[in-house]
Amino acid sequence: MINFKVKELSHKLFENLKQQFPEIELVDITESPVYQNTIWVRLIMPDDEDREINLREMSSEICTDILLDYGYSIGILSAVKSSNGLSQSQLMMRTMHS
C-alpha cells in the first residue's frame, strides 16, 4: 500500500526530474507487482536516448538518497501514452475537471 510519505517522496522525485527534463510526464505511481515494498514512478521518457540515460542517472542518485534517508525503495519505469495520445494522468485530469 502506498502511504502518504511514499506518495510525497515519489512526487518530489518527479518534480526534481521535471526541472532538468521538462519533456517528461508523470503517468502514475504504483506498487511493483514483482518486487515487494518497491514503488514505481511511471514516466513518459524523453525521446532522445542521451537525455533518457541522463534522466536515469539522476533518478538513480535521488532514489538512492530516498532509500538511505527514508528506507523506501522507489524507482522510475518507462510508460507509454494511451492510443488517443494522452497519458493516464491527462485522462484522469480531464475526468476530474469534467
pLDDT of residue 22: 97
CATH class of 4-96: alpha beta
The secondary element (H helix, E strand) that includes residue 78 is strand 73-78
Domain ranges of the chain: 4-96
> What is the total residue count of the chain?
98
pLDDT of residue 93: 41
Work out the angle at residue 87's Cα, subtended by the Cα atoms of residues 86 and 90, and round it to the nearest 5 degrees: 80
What pLDDT tens digit does each residue of the chain (98 aa) get? 799 999 999 999 999 999 999 999 999 999 999 998 999 999 999 999 999 999 999 999 999 999 999 999 999 999 987 666 554 544 444 434 44
In angstroms, rounded to a whole number, what is the distance separating the alpha carbons of residues 35 and 56? Answer: 19
59 near 45, Cβ under 8 Å?
A: no
59 near 92, Cβ under 8 Å?
A: no
* DSSP 8-state class, residue 48: S
